[in-house]
Structure formats: structure tokens, C-alpha cells
Structure 1
């Protein structure tokens, strides 16, 4: 059976944009949400379809692994009815070790995604925060940012990611479901 993971970040309470991403993604087994789930934050405008309570209800219908972002608070954990929302996570997909973070650590605590991934022995790092999609290798580490489905800050517009483990690929997709970029999770030797 194929393992397909929907990777989203920075939904900022937008029910309508998140619904579009879920629909465009098609079939998936679980969601990895890289932070800034319900609250729009003091620096952002209200996103289209802002409805954090309804977004929480929608997400509760799915299997979701959450990473805490800079706009997430303890109240979000209670509303989402989850036991915790860690600042950092690690997942193994086969022999691929993946680091999951929001990304604000790079801005506020110094460092960079490559160094953090290497410090944790990971070959892939998934992060959000910038609202700018990214899929590229740097110093042997695959850097993946799904962008934002609700408040994009790039010409690509609203975006999300899909990990397909049968193909061992990450797909960066527009909110309409068009593949903008695809990369192998493991470097070919």
C-alpha cells in the first residue's frame, strides 16, 4: 500500500484554503502540519476563509502530526484535542530520517536548516514559517518547505507538498493540484 503524506504549513486559521489543499491532494494517509495552524498572528492579515474553530474540526477528522509554530499557543492544543505540539519532530520513512520544524528557530535562534538537520543526523528537513515554497539540496541535505496554503509570500501562490513513499518523491503543488516541482527524497548515487 502506498504511503502518501500531505505536508502543509502556515494555514493560519483558513478553513477554505485548507479544504482546497485537502481536495487537491487527493488520497493521502496522513497530514504533517509544520505549524501556525489556527491563529493568523499579529503580523499577518486575516486569510481568506478565516475560521479557526471550523479548521480545528476539519483537521480532527484526519490523522495529523503537528509541529508547533511561532503563532501556535497552548489553547490550540486544547482546541485541536491533541496531547502535545512539539517544536521539533523526527520521522523515519523507510531509511530516510526526516527532521520536522516550523522554521522560526532559524530566524530567532540563529542557525540554519542544514546545520540543524546534520546535528540530528537527518538527510531531509521539512519546515515552514517563511510562506515561501522550497525544494532543493544543500550540502547533502534536502530542504523542503511546502509554503503556505493561505498567506503565500512568493509568486508561486498558495502551495502544499505531497510525500509519495512508493516513488520516494516530494511533490510541491499549487492549491489547484498542479505539480510545480518534484524531487527525490534520497540522492541517487
Structure 2
């Protein structure tokens, strides 16, 4: 299974569509702040949540299960991810998620905490926190318990030093 994870595309609907078309993922997750009309969002095979800059009525939070993995998807501003990831961890535990996808900070992150993976794809257009390039993430399952997370620039260039291989106990 191949999952494209994006966030904070801030009105760049055409760029978002280019990335979606190039990656040919089985599922797309957008962690909010898309800031476009709903017609510019990926359709059908996507889970999209609302960010603090969005006006389109989509859920503030969603859950999705694919490949035996339970995902929590949120923008993160309502969980104060800019200050601490602890509320996000608690929410993921509460819903039984193995992977918590979030945005808002514009800083790429993939970190295993206890029994879950916290994953921020960064911003598709506006990096922050000293990170020099915009980014998105691709998660691929490999084997029974492993996932690989890779980060790319919007033009498809691999960003070395980010992501990696993580163990996630899949559900049967």
C-alpha cells in the first residue's frame, strides 16, 4: 500500500493535483490548510480534514484504515501541536490509531512514540522551522509490521535524512 500524505498546500490546488498525479498513491491524506474550493481537492480515494485557514466544510478530524493500519488525521491546531505533541499522542491513543498524521507546523516529522508513529509531511508550499524546502510524505507498507516514510519536494526530489523505516503492528 502506498499513501501520499500532504498538508498546508495553502491555495496551490494545481500543485497539489500535480503531486497527486505523479505519486499514483492508493490513498491520499491531506492534513488541512488546503485553502481551496472543494473541487480542487483530491476526490474519491482521499481523506481530507479542515485546518485553521480552511472555509470548506470538511471534518476537523478523521480516521482511516488501510493495509491493516489505523490512521488518525488532524490538522493539529486544535491539539496545540505547535507547543506539544502530547495532546496528539493522547488523542491517537484514545481512538486506537497506530499512525497520527498532522500538519499546522509546516515542519516535516516522522517519529515513533511508544506504540505509534507521529507523522507531519511538512508544508507543500511554505516550509518553516529552518527547514529549507517545501515537502510531502509517502508512506509505503513493506512486510507485515514495517512502514517506510519518504519525504519529497513538490517536484518529486527525494529529501535525504528525513523519514525512515518504522515498525507498526498491523491489525488483522
TM-score (norm 1): 0.72
Hey, what does 1:159 align to over in structure 2? Answer: 135
Question: Would the aligned equivalents of 1:173 and 1:179 in 2 still touch at CA under 8 Å?
Answer: yes
Q: 2 CA distance for matches of 1:112 and 1:60?
A: 28
Question: Would the aligned equivalents of 1:98 and 1:125 in 2 still touch at CA under 8 Å?
Answer: yes
Matched, 1:71 2:47: no
Q: 2 CA distance for matches of 1:34 and 1:60?
A: 12
Hey, what does 1:99 align to over in structure 2? Answer: 72
Q: RCO greater where, 1 or 2, for CA within 8 Å and sep 6 or more? A: 1
Question: Would the aligned equivalents of 2:28 and 2:42 in 1 still touch at CA under 8 Å?
Answer: no
* Offset from partner CA, 1:77-104 (integer Å, 9 cap, x none): 4xxxxxxx11111111233211111110
Question: Would the aligned equivalents of 1:135 and 1:172 in 2 still touch at CA under 8 Å?
Answer: no
Matched, 1:31 2:28: yes
Q: 2 CA distance for matches of 1:182 and 1:173?
A: 13
Higher share in helix: 1
Q: Aligned-pair RMSD on alpha carbons?
A: 2.6
SS at match of 1:119: helix
Give unpaired runs (5+ residues) of structure 1: 39-51, 78-84
TM-score (norm 2): 0.78
Q: 2 CA distance for matches of 1:141 and 1:30?
A: 20
